[in-house]
Structure 1
Amino acid sequence: MLRELLSGSGGIDPSRLAGAAGLPDDPASIAALFGQLQQAMQQQGDGIDWSAALRQGEQRAAAGQVQVSDEERARIGQALQVASLWLDEAVDVTSLPAPAELLTRRAWVAATMPVWTQLAEPVATSIADALTRVMTEQAPEEMRGMIAGASRMIRGVGGALFAMQLGQVVGELATEVVSGGDIGIPLVEDGHAAILPQNVAEFGTDLEIPADQVELYLAVRELAHARLFRHARWLRLHVITAITAFARGIDIDTERLEELAEGFDPSNTEALRDAVASGALISPRSQSQQDALDRLETMLALIEGWVDVVTADATERLPKAAQVGETIRRRRASGGPAESALATLVGLELRPRRLRDAAAMWRKVTEAVGIEGRDALWGHPDLLPTAADLDDPAALIARLTGSDEAEAIAEDEFDQALEDLLRGDMPAAPGEDGEEPPKPAS
């Protein structure tokens, strides 16, 4: 079927196939789709050629893109300098070794695609494995040898489609994000910060807030995020490893896949597109996978909550800082269409559900132990607050301040006194030990 399709003699409408793959229905996209699939059929290795994701992402991001002007560079560059000075007063983490980059949408795709492909590869591999497994199990005995021989081609084609979908989603996401850390995960290299001036300008269009205040607030937020990952050198690998470990546990619902295969209509790919877009092909999470997701969500909430708190402290001088901050929190809570598509594609929502709880906890920690004590918790993963600490910040504060130890000593002293009383070991009253009681002062 694939050979007939790619030779132009199949019964599948190319535009419908493009739609099922999440690609635009235009001649250029269809030509790129078929060219990539033909190339995938001829590749020798078992891996996925992610270059298709980069090409699709850059092409999508370039549509409607404007270059960064000299005036924007000067203005935002000055905002970044002020943001760095303000942030020095609010955190006890190291500054960045290089100034933040001002990126176009296409440049953001190129800079972040290595991380996206790293996160998506376990899911793509799972889909390809499930597809070849179902085809092998369902094929008649006399055809299994042929299916086994074609498995590499099938994996290649499936991987190419997935890569092109990922490119489209990341390219669309490039029209929504305002900075390198906007999604909450480390997409750019450690020690680097990035701002997208075009998206920053569009973000502030409907806020009725002076543009310079929006730019300064977002600059502080981006530098805070980048500084955190530079300060906690273990954090980047920890987050990415947690996400990929979760993704490796994703399994495909083979029964649903078989149902789609049995009822597949080459002239109507809507059912296939809907199944992919809704995530219906992904099996329900196991308990171990849910536990891994809970830990990951706690970590993302801790990162976002810390960034929220230090940004609020650093921007106290901005009259409209609270309004910009609330807009960002609402935006992160709801997410954009591209972020929702990414959640379906990779099987993971990147919006921390407990962001407000984490921010409230970091605020209380700051008040209790100060900036230095708060930021010292990022020194090692074992020092970080847990999900239980988000539920009960008071217990965390007690541990950090040592008040729980003092309370425990007082309780021990009370227990000992009560035990002495019950045994009759009463302390001697004044004068009972043969000594004269002290005379009252005249």
Structure 2
Amino acid sequence: MTRAERALGDAIDWGFAAGVGARLARPGPAMSRYTHDAVVAELASASERSEGPVRELTKLDGGHGSPRAALVVDRPGWVHAAASSMADLTGAGDSGLWLGKPAGAQAGAMLAYLSSAVLGQYDPFSRTLLLVAPNIVAVERALKVPAADFRLWVCLHEVTHRVQFAQAPWMAELMRTAAADLGAAVDEPLGELAGRVVSAVRDLRTPGEKTMAQRGVLGLMRAVQAEPQREALDRLLALGTLLEGHADHVMDGVGPSVVPAVTRIRQAFDSRRRRSTNPIHRLMRTLLGMDAKMAQYVHGKKFVDTVVGRVGMVEFNAVWAGPDTMPTLTEIDDPDAWIARVLG
């Protein structure tokens, strides 16, 4: 069987996944029509007001102009948008064939689960900023923080992603290339794969400090992959960690001047991130990589905080110049190494 034939057999029908996920998505918190409309209007306004402060702090001016208005969606709306983005990323879609339906159903179930957790998302392929209104309302109610402040705080994070991709459009192509490399079939002896599995499980059970890329299911998945796929995953992880850490750095840096309750929100939000959930939720979070996502925020923000603290924001912005100036996973945990390599 050729690589193309294997890829076709393994393809996910993202159109089918969107339909499944939208049907399975749980309803959000109860809101009157008046409250719903007010939330949508305030989020749209907050996303517009975030652009100026984000650009001022980051010193990024690439792609300035009139950004497309944010799209405020419900959970099924996010599922459809996320499935479309994944189709763009992977080059797959609605093939009309049954080959992709089973995987599409599984992907749809995962999107349905995630649809209740995502607050916002920037899609670099459609250049659309999404804000998931029911999830934002659910979290602000659970945290008992001022609604207007929390909505603006979330928008600062998501608008930062829009500014990042406007400054560095090469990142979207890097994501596509890495995703293609990650999905490519690699023929290798079964013994080599088995050896990596045994070694990876042993390493996971060994106590001691581990980097983000060595933790949990993510570390196991990375360890058992062949070298080309491991390199592709590392590129995606490093990029995601940089983007999330930078956005967290910006939302806290901008926050005090425009979000009066920023300290209270940050403390409550971080406490919520660390809070344990029931065993089923913990398992789902692990399998879907959500805990790895939380690690990206922590490791990435520490990297950005450290570099900006030492060289300033203007020098830090060399990171957006191209793939060669992006930090590696090793440099994420060793900011001095990135400074020495890129800034000399």
* TM-score, normalised by the number of residues in structure 1: 0.56
Change (3 A) 1:80 1:293: closer
Match of 1:176, SS state, is: coil
Match of 2:79 among 85, 109, 125: 109
**Which of 1 and 2 has greater Rg?**
1
Assess if the C-alpha contact under 8 Å between 1:298 and 1:352 holds in 2.
Answer: no
1:7 aligned residue: none
Higher helix proportion, which one?
2
Q: How far, CA to CA, are the matches of 1:247 and 1:322 in structure 2? A: 42
Change (3 A) 1:354 1:174: closer
The alignment yields a C-alpha RMSD, in angstroms, of 4.3
1:72 aligned residue: 39
Change (3 A) 1:219 1:57: same
After TM superposition, the structure 1 = structure 2 runs for residues 244-255 of structure 1, keeping only pairs within 5 Å, are 244-249=180-185
Instruction: Give 1:189 shift.
Output: 2.0
Q: How far, CA to CA, are the matches of 1:248 and 1:352 in structure 2? A: 27
Q: Structure 2: 5+ residue runs without aligned partners?
A: 1-7, 191-216
* TM-score, normalised by the number of residues in structure 2: 0.70
Given residue 83 of structure 1, which amino acid in structure 2 is its aligned partner? S
Q: How far, CA to CA, are the matches of 1:101 and 1:75 in structure 2? A: 12
Q: How far, CA to CA, are the matches of 1:250 and 1:202 in structure 2? A: 43
Match of 2:166 among 230, 235, 239: 230
Q: Structure 1: 5+ residue runs without aligned partners?
A: 1-44, 126-155, 255-277, 403-442
Change (3 A) 1:311 1:201: same
Residue deviations 1:284-339, cap 9 Å, x none?
43344334333332221111111111111111233432443455557668899789
Match of 1:377 among 303, 319, 339: 319
Assess if the C-alpha contact under 8 Å between 1:309 and 1:363 holds in 2.
Answer: yes
Assess if the C-alpha contact under 8 Å between 2:90 and 2:179 holds in 1.
Answer: no
Given residue 305 of structure 2, which amino acid in structure 1 is its aligned partner? R
1:55 aligned residue: 19
Q: How far, CA to CA, are the matches of 1:230 and 1:339 in structure 2? A: 35
Q: How far, CA to CA, are the matches of 1:232 and 1:199 in structure 2? A: 29
Q: How far, CA to CA, are the matches of 1:240 and 1:342 in structure 2? A: 25
After TM superposition, the structure 1 = structure 2 runs for residues 345-356 of structure 1, keeping only pairs within 5 Å, are 351=293, 353=295, 355-356=297-298
Q: Which moved more, 1:93-102 or 1:222-231?
A: 93-102
1:98 aligned residue: 68
Q: How far, CA to CA, are the matches of 1:161 and 1:71 in structure 2? A: 39
After TM superposition, the structure 1 = structure 2 runs for residues 300-315 of structure 1, keeping only pairs within 5 Å, are 300-315=240-255
1:82 aligned residue: 49
Q: How far, CA to CA, are the matches of 1:355 and 1:250 in structure 2? A: 31
After TM superposition, the structure 1 = structure 2 runs for residues 98-177 of structure 1, keeping only pairs within 5 Å, are 98-117=68-87, 157=98, 159-177=100-118
Match of 2:265, SS state, is: helix
1:285 aligned residue: 225
Q: How far, CA to CA, are the matches of 2:262 and 2:138 in structure 1? A: 18
After TM superposition, the structure 1 = structure 2 runs for residues 404-419 of structure 1, keeping only pairs within 5 Å, are none
1:263 aligned residue: none
Instruction: Give 1:179 shift.
Output: 0.7
Residue deviations 1:343-398, cap 9 Å, x none?
758x9986264543332222232233332322232021112223343343234445
Instruction: Give 1:214 shift.
Output: 0.8
Q: How far, CA to CA, are the matches of 1:188 and 1:342 in structure 2? A: 26
Instruction: Give 1:244 shift.
Output: 3.5
Q: How far, CA to CA, are the matches of 1:214 and 1:244 in structure 2? A: 37
Q: Does 2:126 align with 1:189?
A: yes
Q: How far, CA to CA, are the matches of 1:384 and 1:108 in structure 2? A: 29
1:151 aligned residue: none
Instruction: Give 1:232 shift.
Output: 0.7
Instruction: Give 1:249 shift.
Output: 4.7
Q: How far, CA to CA, are the matches of 1:283 and 1:329 in structure 2? A: 29
Q: How far, CA to CA, are the matches of 2:23 and 2:184 in structure 1? A: 29
Assess if the C-alpha contact under 8 Å between 2:18 and 2:79 holds in 1.
Answer: yes
Change (3 A) 1:328 1:392: same
1:220 aligned residue: 156
1:34 aligned residue: none
Identity %: 23
Match of 1:195, SS state, is: strand
